[in-house]
Structure 1
């Protein structure tokens, strides 16, 4: 009976919280064989790809991404670097001064043997050669026969590639001396969903891809160690992963085989000087670090970071849903930090705090974006912002940050958002990621305003409801491709609060929040909305007799109200729920029947009010 009740409960839960009606997604299964020449940084690739079409329509064409082609003079990425006012410093040289910069794209200076490329030899579809063309970083394949709905099709590709000089994410010979940082390195099936094909040229931003399985074999000089996505299938035959290893080599090359299930990107890095450490989390996840043991301080930092990473995975699994894959590998490489399926590449010559921070951020991407296949090219804030939120919560939990801002563990992103909002460079968060006028605007809205979006949602619906929302979202949308509206719908179902106004105005506009305590008398406290974005308010009042009262003013558009919250500052404080306020009315009078000494608008600091100086008033 208990089992029957559980099944019934799960069925009802699915009815209430299930995917939107008609939801579907494509599926891919990659099998690759890669032969690497580490001397000239070139490799030959063979791939068999099984593609499942569940779209409800036939497909006459398919597309692949060839990201390495961006690292050629004249590419869109090359031109973007000199047309944007604040290019990524890693990708340019400044031929001028700090005051009068003159940027030169590093890509424009690449020689023939330094550029990146992926040259397709042939494409076969179910054994039949297909016509194809390459346009920048997109490969278009015209199918000999359309892929009908509900069918699977097998593609075979062979290609020759050259790994570019390390300029952005991918590349050879990173600044820290890593030989090969192999990210966005294979012909990657483009994403097709209800919005059509996603065919963004690679100009430096991020990605979207279908979920699938990867079986990747890499033939590489036997002295090299590889850190990669997935589970290594032959640790005793290669260097670095087993004390009992006896390296098997053919033509001086070892063969590494990695298998990963239900991910949407595969990455690896390799170097002859790499060492490998590992641990297992309480939740049973095997964590690996693969890094260059440059000196004793670097070694110490990586070993400590591995322990902190283990704590982070357990914490995040408890708050946002269990990490579902058996392994996660943190590899030194790339040019900063970038997440991939069950792996990340990060730069490793950092101090401990910086190393832990970047690992936490990239590991948090295992949820937002790899467990939920978020379209980073469209909803970058949903990916980076929610990841930053998870990262900050993890840092706060593990390192026990305390003090006046304890009620808001993401206060630093709030402060960065305030600067953005007042800078004149803010653009709506709904803007496509590639199209921001400045990198400053993109970075601060994606990472910081996105984190504010998540924390402030807890202010609106209540902290407990926010935590329930994240866990319910995990149950409903793991291994799928949700949109922000899907997250909103879960939050609305959990809280019973209408959130259309919040998601629309905070995402699609640059409107700001600005409330003030206008006046205080013996009979009322007058609150003024000075801005064009209305919010519910928590008003904490202290009376001259020493008592306190928390006034909660719902917003009419919410059509509901949040429950009382259990913050320490609100314990033993009377809570009074007032009549709702509405955005067409600029002022609101709170009646009082005792003499007031102090008034605070949102003492938890979760309301993203751009001018806080008038949010607190004390009477002499």
Structure 2
């Protein structure tokens, strides 16, 4: 997710990193090999469910939730009314006497716990969910009402009989309604446009909480961090007034009921076109003939399979365009964008489908194929927010900013929509990993049209990412990555959760492991945990096992702590006093963090020689004399000449030969 309010805080966050604080932090950093290389304690143990190799174990299980939902939106009252049937499958070994559901709309209540956790108390509220009824239907079709208890953004359903493990099933019937929040909704809202309100609807139906092998029921309340959900199939229907377009995640099942014959024809054309095809033009938005009927309501029906969630947008104001997505092994999907007339234009949302198509194709080729038949950009004021198969993006964004937000939000399809990590606890496993893959998509798009990626997520100050992250690491108050997502202050959310996590992945790929081993390993990690729930320990173990590297020192310094990195050149001397015998360079580790580095020798004739200083150098040493073979006089020596590492004191990185 990207939020404009968070981006504006990045500058303020970095301004807080005062130079005296930096100097004090550097002075207090003392490298200790025994501390840096002590055995790493993984946050979660290896079990039969999660193997020591980082793969799902032989006894791995995961529960399942399939949904059938019918909902009606009344734009005048902003009320969404719905009923759902959840087919819940208990694949765990445990009998469950209760079920837990997530009621995220209760986050907007005045008494919500989340109202007390932000930088300021909210000023606008809704009444949250109105739960009309809850009933359970057993495998024999017997249905009965049950007791439920609402606690903040959670609801406990008390079962008349325990749901048995190893495949036990039941149907849970829930009827509900709520008032859609205004733009204060953040991740969902209703916002005005020239030709009508735009409804961005997410977290809109009571959703099953996850029951897993790590905690049992994971009932962390919705404070501000995102989501953790079970996978299943969704069939859902949205009824709206006749003049509204619904852009829903998944496949539209009844185009003949909700589209004109012309729109159906154009949509079919788009399925075979690499160029954007207009489905509903700006001129047609105000024409009643662009809808198949001119009164009453229309019901839009969608299906999405093997997903953890669905969301939708609805408005009478939508311009609509589409193009084909080319996927590996000859598969295709459809990229679509819906946006108001005022967002159209070749420098703005007129390129949105182009951006969506290109980024989806890149991520699919590089990491893992996009799995669903449709991908949608929806324009509104929810900023940048991701859901399976649909993203809510800023309707005012243009050019580089629009490309950035679209690529980032659709990148979330891979993390956490395919690789289903727990955003509510480990936000860095989706925001950081996604920002990491964005870096390379930015390089690839249209021959680097908007490269390099230097937005508020990856390089907050807009400069060299290594130098930028060094500033963050110098802040003694900056939290570590291995901390609960709701414990990260807003000031540090982007610098740590997005930026530091992403830069750590870049270090793994470019400096520690190398692309040749990293890329196949990361692809296999995605494939192994697709539609499953990996923990931080699963990722750590997998990358070690698959790449052949002991990385406990990196997990400790970069993820468990916010340690600083400072290599220094302390002495240059010709071997035996004769430059023809080579050069001896004394390198010291003055920080707490360990990283491999490149030593570069510049000779008096302008030629250069590089020597790799591996991380193992520091297992027994605080300083080390590196011998460099050579037969020429030396001009200068530098450590990390490319500024690829987050060294907090670069003034000790280069020494001229006396």
Displacement of 1:249 in angstroms is: 6.3
How much does 1:485 deviate? 2.4
- The one of the two structures with greater contact order (alpha-carbon pairs below 8 A, sep at least 6) is 2
Select which of 422, 425, 440 maps to 1:393: 440
Structure 1 residues 518 and 29: CA distance shift in structure 2, 3 A: same
Point out the more displaced range, 191-200 or 213-222. 191-200
| 2:345 maps to 1:285 | no
Instruction: State the Cα distance separating 1:267 from its structure 2 match.
Output: 0.7
Q: Which residue of 2 aligns with 1:441?
A: 492
Q: 1:326 to 1:617 in 2, by over 3 A?
A: farther
Structure 1 match to 2:202: 183
- Counterpart of 1:419 (choices 471, 477, 498) is 471
Match in the other structure for 1:153: 170
Residues 318 and 340, structure 2, Cα contact 8 Å, conserved in 1: yes
Residue 317 of structure 1 pairs with residue 334 of structure 2: no
CA contact (8 A) 1:414 1:449 kept: no
Q: Cα gap change, 1:189/1:240 in structure 2, threshold over 3 Å: closer, same or farther?
A: farther
1:18-72 CA-to-partner distances (Å, cap 9, x unmatched) read: 4234222111100101122221011221111111111111111111111111112
**CA displacement at 1:402 relative to structure 2:** 10
**Alpha carbons 1:132, 1:142 under 8 Å: kept:** yes
Q: State the superposition RMSD in angstroms.
A: 2.7
User: Is residue 264 from structure 1 mapped to residue 308 from structure 2 by the alignment?
Assistant: yes
Paired residue for 1:520, among 553, 557, 572?
A: 572
Match of 2:47 in 1: none
For the pair 1:117 / 2:103, whether they are aligned, the reply is no
Deviations 1:390-412 (A, max 9, x none): 11211112154599989xx9665
Q: Is the 8 A contact 1:410 1:455 kept in 2?
A: no
For residue 551 of structure 1, the aligned residue among 581, 590, 611 is 611
- CA deviation vs aligned residue, 1:373-429 (integer Å, no higher than 9, x gap): 0111221111101111111211112154599989xx966554442232223331111
Q: 1:373 to 1:186 in 2, by over 3 A?
A: same
Paired residues of 2:129 and 2:176 also in contact (CA < 8 A): no
Could you give the per-residue CA deviations for residues 546-600 of structure 1, whole angstroms, max 9, x where no partner exists? Answer: 54333223233xxxxxxxxxxxxxxxxxxxxxxxx13452101101343332323
CA distances 1:264-283 after superposition (whole Å, capped 9, x unpaired): 11111111111211011222
Closer/same/farther in 2, CA of residues 24 and 175 from structure 1, 3 Å limit:
same
Alpha-carbon contact 1:235-1:242 (below 8 Å) kept: no
The correspondence of residues 336-375 of structure 1 with structure 2, limited to 5 A, is 336-375=383-422
Q: Report Cα offsets for 1:431-489 as digits up to 9, x if no partner.
A: 101122x2011221111001011001121111221212221212222111112322223
After TM superposition, the structure 1 stretch with the greater mean CA deviation from structure 2, 28-37 or 489-498, is 489-498
Determine whether 1:453 maps to 2:504. Answer: yes
Instruction: Indicate whether 1:538 and 2:598 are aligned.
Output: yes
Q: 1:314 to 1:171 in 2, by over 3 A?
A: closer
- Contact 1:274 1:293 (C-alpha < 8 Å) held by counterparts: yes
Alpha-carbon distance in 2 for matches of 1:538, 1:374 = 35
CA contact (8 A) 1:413 1:449 kept: no
Residue 475 of structure 1: which of 527, 533, 538 is its match? 527
Q: Are the aligned partners of 2:478 and 2:492 in contact in 1 as well (CA < 8 Å)? A: yes
State the TM-score, normalizing by the size of structure 1. Answer: 0.84
Distance 1:374 1:182 in 2: 23
What are structure 2's unaligned runs of at least 5 residues? Answer: 1-50, 266-289, 576-583
8 Å CA contact 2:458, 2:499 repeated in 1: no
Give the gaps of 5 or more residues in structure 1.
Answer: 1-13, 82-86, 88-102, 557-580
User: Which residue of 194, 205, 210 corresponds with 2:230?
Assistant: 210
Of 449-458 and 529-538, deviating more is 529-538
Calculate the TM-score normalised by the size of structure 2.
Answer: 0.79
Matched, 1:252 2:268: no
SS at structure 1 position matched to 2:348: helix
Q: Which residue of 71, 75, 80 maps to 1:43?
A: 80
Matched, 1:130 2:150: no
Q: State yes or no: 1:33 paired with 2:34.
A: no
Distance (Å, rounded) in 2 between the aligned partners of 1:241 and 1:615:
68
CA contact (8 A) 1:220 1:255 kept: yes
Q: For this pair of structures, how many residues does the alignment match?
A: 554
- Taking the TM superposition and a 5 Å limit, the aligned residue runs for 1:46-195 are 46-81=83-118, 87=119, 103=120, 105-107=122-124, 110=125, 114-126=126-138, 127-150=143-166, 151-174=168-191, 178-195=197-214
Question: 1:484-524: CA deviations, max 9, x gaps?
Answer: 32222332233211112211221111112111122212131
Tell me by how many angstroms 1:287 deviates. Answer: 0.6
Aligned residues of 1:69 and 1:118 also touching (Cα < 8 A): no
What is the rounded CA distance, in whole Å, between the counterparts of 2:179 and 2:473 in structure 1?
43
- Following superposition, the deviation at residue 166 of structure 1 comes to 2.3
